[in-house]
Structure 1
């Protein structure tokens, strides 16, 4: 299994390159992960006339150390982060334990380094090499120099430096003075780094020299980030579990008996939403100064502790209500038929999924592709737990049945939720297909109006919006057309049309009367609501049923997406335009949540480290870097 380090130029460096005229305004040509057939792959023509010098360094490394270094230069990583791109390319190339892949997207300003878990250099040694030898060359756009520096460093000739402190935080670490993070799996051993020369326990000070009233002054910011992220994950899991427990209790005792628990859960869920909103603020593209970061992290911890304490305060009474130690036989008797009911759904939902796979593109069904398989596995586990509960009830320690019953309840509820997701997506795809007709007509109508309004030398941006809408129309037609090359994806097509038409509407806004514009936006709002609800529902199902390995990024996007969707609903009648923006934002966050959740699940399955970070100047950069994973050697 491979461990990967990635980097992204920080905002300050990018701003400097814009001033120097280095970064152009064109769109980079995207390259998907590839199979490296040669040790040098230069699709971006980055090496120019220096390929021979690079190859000489690679040959020398191979002769001295037995290491094959594969260097890949492309324009863009096709929307992937450097970690994913480098690791996928390494896997496609079937690299061995002594092989290294170094990938650079010269226009994206991103790089990734993929090495095997068993590669002889340590994380610290690789970190020193990248910080001291490779990144300075990348910052100067000396692509050949970066490859040569890496080869020489792996060959033992790098400048390096010793004692670079590493501080582990949520699954990773920040290199002191560096611009990237070294990520590892959650719950690995953690080491703390220094904090800008501040001794542990010494309070941070503002620029005026006054100490802040920081309740966590004894913790470095990285460790505080870890604690806040861990608290978010733990609370999200607790809320999800409590909701399932409450559902079973409602079915057993009725709503009146669990009113207090419902209120406590609702209040804790609200505080969880506030905490996720703060986490999103920390994760957005606008960086906060360290004092502001610490205040937000402290508030996240406060909210999580408050919500958790509220749930804990109810847990004893809740356990007395359910009293599984004494009611286990009755619960077992009622749970077995519930497992049978959900099990009986499997053939129908499997047929439904097969039919959907014959009608729609894989991209449209990616969120539910393995739902039947997952549901079946959950139900098998539930039956196993029921058998163990029966055996425990006949044993000298019948209380052991409680754990098995709770596990069986949870597995059954998750399986039912997964199967619900299949028919729900079927409905949403059908609704998207129907909405496409109206969406296309609206876009064509707007295009006709926009074309009529275009004048020679137009500087309003209308021409570019017309081009975008025309492209979206063509893409939507391709996405909904069943051809020998592919099946339709109505939700993607509807999303493309809605986004392009919204941009076109913006350019046409000054030419339309307010009422007509409001009517059109309201129609688009219905379309955006369909895609947003689908994205969030798919992400929620995915995260809820795999929450054991899903981290805070996916959960934060999901919580924020639901908040924006709720906001869209509340604005729908009073501010349709604002509601539309909220719905589209919710849709984007839902897609991001599913992306991050999938990455976390893949990480948990492969024990592959992940991250992304920056190269270039050290100032003002944040990111993630590389980590170790375990698993088979792909080479």
Structure 2
């Protein structure tokens, strides 16, 4: 028993150290300097928002060869960060928003997050074991060496190899792949962990991990029948009826939300409604995918080649898509309701913001004193982001004051929607300033905890 507990503790310590190494690899980066890309619609074969590919045009030939010889269309996306999502979540949403399907395969890499994901559907002819083997054998070694161009070529070569010899797998499922799966990989390897333990760098990594607020979790969803066990209690006819109702309801919701967005843009402007616009586009993409699946089911049913188990899985996928789209729209409608409530009380809200700005300003001298104490006892390299924060906080507070003044001017002019937009901008700037000061004030506790964790791991 004691040996088992020691084994678990050691495994936990190694896992914690591995998580910190992702940030150590990137070096000390201020929280505001890490670009984040939410899921978006991909149109080009190769999209390099991170600027890490040396010669995308040379890689295009690998993708063209895969399409002409293997019939697969590989899309590759490089970004800096997955915006707080796991690689699995990000790549699935991007796949859906891009309207991909059929023979499409998407590889997405977040360079700063040290995370990636691959996604396709059963229509591509690939099984889950096929894609997992391509990841572990071809993609991950290149990414671990920061060979960004090589990872693209390796993915294309590995996919073609699996198509040529599908019997060659790593012992995974030999049955058909589910309609949606997301095997997710990280860049960590035993060599990285060894180097991490030898050089003892986790303290800096843990500090930066805390300040950046990034924790990319590895999540691989269970098979569809385990994802939604409630479906097993319903007949196929019931699922068909639910899907029909859900598709109609979603279509109506998208129409209604489109009208709501037009009214909100006229009232508050396009800047204040950008998130709703993005949510509406995402919901439309999910709706299009759901209707596409339904159409494929209708065609297969009419041709007499539809297996019930497959149909139930596809129907469950449609319900998942419609539920996710509805949730996106509902969240934004709640935000519009808050904007309208704020419009009625914007003078009081602006006054409260001035009070809060003054309170945060009063914390600045204390934060500077705390940072000075930390500088005297810790290497400056480990405090890089804190020094950046103490410089940015006053600028953010000045920005918040300016937005409050602008909002008050709009109130005096009778332009309350514009005052609401200014108030929201002030609230956002104030929140960022307060967050940066809080990071400084809590840094000592984080450092002490990091030292204790390192001692335990060693």
TM class by smaller structure: 0.3 to 0.5
* Bigger fraction of residues in helix: 2
**TM score, norm. by length of structure 2:** 0.47
Higher alpha-carbon Rg: 1
